[in-house]
Amino acid sequence: LQTIADDSTLKWYKELQGLASHCAQSFEDLNNTKDMQTKKMRMELQKAATIPVSQISSISGSQLKEIFDKIDKLLLGRQVLSGGKSVSTSQHPHGLEFVSYKLAEKFVKQGEEEVASHHEAAFPIAVVASGVWELHPKVGDLILAHLHKKCPYSVPYYPPMKDGTSIEEYQQILGYRVDESGVEGQDSFLKRMSGMIRLYAAIIHLRWPYTNKQGLQIGPHGLNHGWRWLAQMLNMEPLADVTATLLFDFLEVCGNALMKQYQGQFWKLLLLIKEEYFPRIEAATNSGQMGSVTRLEQFLEDALRNKQIEPPKGQLNSAFWRS
């Protein structure tokens, strides 16, 4: 087994990181402005981009559509009402880049915080993200770039330790939060990574129901990426804890969709996990960290025995979209 991802995976990852830093540079003047008026406008644009995302919930389809339309309008450069004031990205030459960047960052943050604590929140957030991505592909690229940076396992990418990097720096690259009090605990880290991978697994199999472009059978970042992610994970040596946790989270959210799409080939993947990959996960894991390993094992056994994977809990149904 490899210890690093395929060249094509790494190339894609680097391209997206380059694109995101290029975007961040474009609005640097907006970030560093001393001008009070411009500062105020920046705050308002940021709010207009992030507040709708934090309001996403599974209350009703019509409420979700309102939120979606607001984000779409903002990205189209139209005037939107935010906190009683009218704002538009056309107020600044780099307003659109700024808003796209902040919006993408917020989607990922909702995965990291909201989905991490409430797994079912993945679906309404993902369906809006997928729709925005479809109409505004640049935002999609930025979502991927932020997601990859905060959760390298979503690439999947296991960053190697480089000479001259301190342990703390390296842990940060691996996705751990590091502050004055030190490195965050393993439980908190795994919970955040789970939230982000669950959001990703939901995005790849959901599609915004109102933008169906004719003749397009696949969303902006479709299930083929689910296949790619799983295959790439399984071609690499497992890491203690992280691999078992993320495989389980991923399969619980989009296993049903992958099963329907790839049928016999998907069952070949599951069989390979159970018979050849799982023993390697067990061998890599300390006896104190077996919780995630046991959950994955149970999931694989149930799926292979019943020849079935249930749809994920919390998936949005047709009654939701009528509400």
Partner 1 sequence: RKGGRDGLYTPLSDLTPDELREFTAKRFTLGQIPLRPPPADLLSV
Kindly state the smallest distance separating residue 232's Cβ from partner 1, in Å: 6
What is the rounded (10 degree) CA torsion for 135, 198, 257, 218?
20
The Cα–Cα gap between 49 and 39 comes to: 15
Integer angstrom CA distances of residue 53 from 24, 48, 222, 245: 20, 9, 21, 26
Task: Provide the residue count of the chain.
Answer: 323
Kindly state the smallest distance separating residue 287's Cβ from partner 1, in Å: 24
Burial class (CB in 10 A: 0-12, 13-18, 19+), 180: exposed
Among residues 12 and 320, whose Cβ is nearest to partner 1? Answer: 12
Kindly state the smallest distance separating residue 269's Cβ from partner 1, in Å: 7
Count CA atoms closer than 13 A to 47's CA, side-chain side: 14
Among residues 111 and 222, whose Cβ is nearest to partner 1? Answer: 222
The Cα–Cα gap between 209 and 106 comes to: 22
Among residues 42 and 207, whose Cβ is nearest to partner 1? Answer: 207
First CA to last CA across the chain, in angstroms? 49
Among residues 60 and 224, whose Cβ is nearest to partner 1? Answer: 224
- CB–CB of 31/42 below 8 Å? yes
Burial class (CB in 10 A: 0-12, 13-18, 19+), 37: exposed
Among residues 42 and 221, whose Cβ is nearest to partner 1? Answer: 221
Among residues 1 and 59, whose Cβ is nearest to partner 1? Answer: 1
Interacting residues with partner 1 (CB under 8 A)? 1-2, 6, 8-9, 216-218, 222-224, 227-228, 231-232, 234-235, 261-265, 268-269, 271-272, 276-277
Kindly state the smallest distance separating residue 224's Cβ from partner 1, in Å: 5
Burial class (CB in 10 A: 0-12, 13-18, 19+), 220: buried
**DSSP, residue by residue, 118-168:** -GGGHHHHHHHHHHHHHH-HHHHHHHHHHHHHH-GGGTT--PPPPTT--HH
Kindly state the smallest distance separating residue 226's Cβ from partner 1, in Å: 9
Backbone dihedral angles phi then psi of residue 176, each to the nearest 5 degrees: -75, 145
Among residues 164 and 264, whose Cβ is nearest to partner 1? Answer: 264
Among residues 188 and 265, whose Cβ is nearest to partner 1? Answer: 265
Helix axes 186-205, 223-234, angle to 10 degrees: 140
CA angle 241, 244, 250 (to 5 degrees): 130
Kindly state the smallest distance separating residue 91's Cβ from partner 1, in Å: 34
Q: Among residues 239, 247, 147, which one has the least CA distance to residue 199?
A: 147
Among residues 51 and 284, whose Cβ is nearest to partner 1? Answer: 284
Kindly state the smallest distance separating residue 4's Cβ from partner 1, in Å: 13
Kindly state the smallest distance separating residue 216's Cβ from partner 1, in Å: 7
Kindly state the smallest distance separating residue 262's Cβ from partner 1, in Å: 6
